[in-house]
Structure 1
Amino acid sequence: MARAAELAHQDEPTVEATAREWGFDRVRHHHTAFRPPFPLRDARAYTLGGRHVLVTAFRGAEPAELRDWLSDATTPPWPGPGGVGTVHHGFAETLRSLWPQVRTALKELRDDDQQVYFTGHGLGGALAMLAGARLHFEDPRLTADGVYTFGQPRTCDPGLAREFNTAFAERTYRFVNHDDVVPQLPPEPVFRHVSALRHIDSRGAVHHTVPLGGGLPDRGRGCVADLLSPASDGIRDHLVSAYVSALEQAAERRG
């Protein structure tokens, strides 16, 4: 799933070539463009179709593109999927622009009861979590078999987080790499995380909780500019390549 999230940052020919290497025979690309003043130029995702599994991966965004979203707790909330709770307006609007394409691809490619997975890094992680929620709360006949996010920002209010945790128990994995700052934002208490944390410490070990003294504490709004600078530890640990490397090394140690 981390490699699939990383692949979402590549161009379409690379996605298709890699999909074939992974054994997926069908690929659908999803793209939408935005107009100013929306801070993103566009949003992208892809869906892989195989005999047993479907994977939709959402592309992330540079933290600098999301600076205002990540530092501002006053962003008006947006109604949550199926009327459950509320979500961050910017994340909801980004998924809304892609969702018809994603839903059409899932309907088309799920022709043999395949399992469905969502994944993404950073903003893509927020979209993956919300996609799982939309599929479950708006179309209860189909619930994703897994949601994997990497460096996901806080995405929703406590009500949706609670309902999501109940619906996706044992099917959600929210990875946070060491001092990655993005999962610490937007600030609480308006926005919350879903559960299922998997924290990667400085040695690459994966924990179900943040070790005592490890990981960044919640930061005040005044520190956000420094924390989101390209040279900060919080941004280096946010890189999708850092997640892939850490998890590959963890897998090798287990193997």
Structure 2
Amino acid sequence: MARAAKLVYASQGDVVRQAREWGFDRVRHHESLFEPPFALEDTQAYTLAGERMIVIAFRGTEPAQIRDWLSDASTPPWPGPARTGYMHYGFAEALDSVYPGVRDAIAELRDNGQTVWFTGHSLGGALAMLAGCRMYLEEPRLRADGVYTYGQPRTCDRILAAAVNKSFRDKLFRFVNNNDIVPQLPPEPAYTHADAVRYFDAKGRLHTSMPLLGTVADRARGLTADALAPASDGVRDHFIDSYIAALERNLD
């Protein structure tokens, strides 16, 4: 899933070539362009379909860009799927621009009872979680088999988060890499995370929870790991390659 989340940053031709190497014989691209003053220029995603599984991956954005975007509190919240709670306006608008195409692609390509998986990094992680949530809450028979996100920002209020926790128990995996700045935005209490966190500590070890006191100390260790550039740790930890490297170390 992490490699699929990285692939969405590639060109469409590279996506098709890699998909075929992975055994996916059909690919659909989804893209929507926005005009200024919307802070994000576009929304991109793809759907890969093979004999046994379908993967939908959403593209993220640069850390500095999403940080500026998430700090903009001038827009009102957007009602959540099936009127369940609310979500960040920008995420909702970005998802809404490509969701019909994603839904139609799943309906077209799911011709063999394939499992369905959502993934994404950064902004793409928020869109992956919300897409899986929307599909299930609006059409309960279509619950995804898994949602994997990396460096995902806070996306919604506590009501929608509670619905996600209930609907996707043991199916949602939200990875956070030590001092990654993006999962700490937008600020609480207006927005929050769903549960199911998977946390990489300063030494790259994977944990299934983030106890408050231990996490504070661990993040401090991460900041001092690079004495020459401690302030950049939050951005450095956000890159999808950092997540893939941490996953590979834990698999080894």
How far off its partner does 1:237 sit? 0.1
Q: Secondary structure at the match of 2:219?
A: coil
Per-residue CA deviations over 1:74-109 (Å, capped at 9, x if unaligned) read 541100011111000000000000101101110011
- Identical columns (%): 57
- The one-letter amino acid of 1:155's match is T
Residues 119 and 147 in structure 2, CA contact (< 8 A), matched pair in contact too: yes
Residues 39 and 69 in structure 2, CA contact (< 8 A), matched pair in contact too: no
Question: Gaps (5+ residues) in structure 2?
Answer: 221-228
Residues 79 and 86 in structure 2, CA contact (< 8 A), matched pair in contact too: yes
Per-residue CA deviations over 1:112-161 (Å, capped at 9, x if unaligned) read 11110000000000000000111000111110000000000000000000
Residues 31 and 45 in structure 1, CA contact (< 8 A), matched pair in contact too: yes
Q: Residue 78 of structure 1 corresponds to which residue in structure 2?
A: 78
- Could you tell me how far apart the structure 2 residues matched to 1:144 and 1:209 are? 23
How far off its partner does 1:63 sit? 2.2
Residues 72 and 187 in structure 1, CA contact (< 8 A), matched pair in contact too: no
Cα RMSD over matched residues? Answer: 1.6
Per-residue CA deviations over 1:141-195 (Å, capped at 9, x if unaligned) read 1100000000000000000000110000000000000110100000000000000
How far off its partner does 1:66 sit? 2.2
Q: After the TM superposition, which residues 142-153 of structure 1 pair with which residues of structure 2 at under 5 Å, given as runs?
A: 142-153=142-153
Residues 69 and 186 in structure 1, CA contact (< 8 A), matched pair in contact too: no
- Could you tell me how far apart the structure 1 residues matched to 2:105 and 2:208 are? 33
Q: Which runs of 4+ in 1 moved over 3 A?
A: 72-75
Q: Residue 179 of structure 1 corresponds to which residue in structure 2?
A: 179
| CA 202–174 in structure 1, closer or farther in 2 if over 3 Å, else same | same
Deviates further, 73-82 or 187-196: 73-82
TM-score of the two chains, using structure 1 as the length reference: 0.91
Q: Residue 42 of structure 1 corresponds to which residue in structure 2?
A: 42
Q: Residue 61 of structure 1 corresponds to which residue in structure 2?
A: 61
Residues 73 and 190 in structure 1, CA contact (< 8 A), matched pair in contact too: no
Q: Secondary structure at the match of 1:106?
A: helix
Per-residue CA deviations over 1:15-71 (Å, capped at 9, x if unaligned) read 111101111111111111000110111110000001110000000011222233322
TM-score of the two chains, using structure 2 as the length reference: 0.92
Q: Residue 207 of structure 1 corresponds to which residue in structure 2?
A: 207
- Could you tell me how far apart the structure 2 residues matched to 1:67 and 1:166 are? 29
Q: Secondary structure at the match of 1:56?
A: strand
| CA 49–113 in structure 1, closer or farther in 2 if over 3 Å, else same | same
How far off its partner does 1:73 sit? 4.6
Q: Residue 117 of structure 2 corresponds to which residue in structure 1?
A: 117
Q: Residue 197 of structure 1 corresponds to which residue in structure 2?
A: 197
Q: Residue 104 of structure 1 corresponds to which residue in structure 2?
A: 104
- Could you tell me how far apart the structure 1 residues matched to 2:177 and 2:6 are? 15
Question: Gaps (5+ residues) in structure 1?
Answer: 217-228
Q: Secondary structure at the match of 1:32?
A: strand
- The one-letter amino acid of 2:117's match is Y
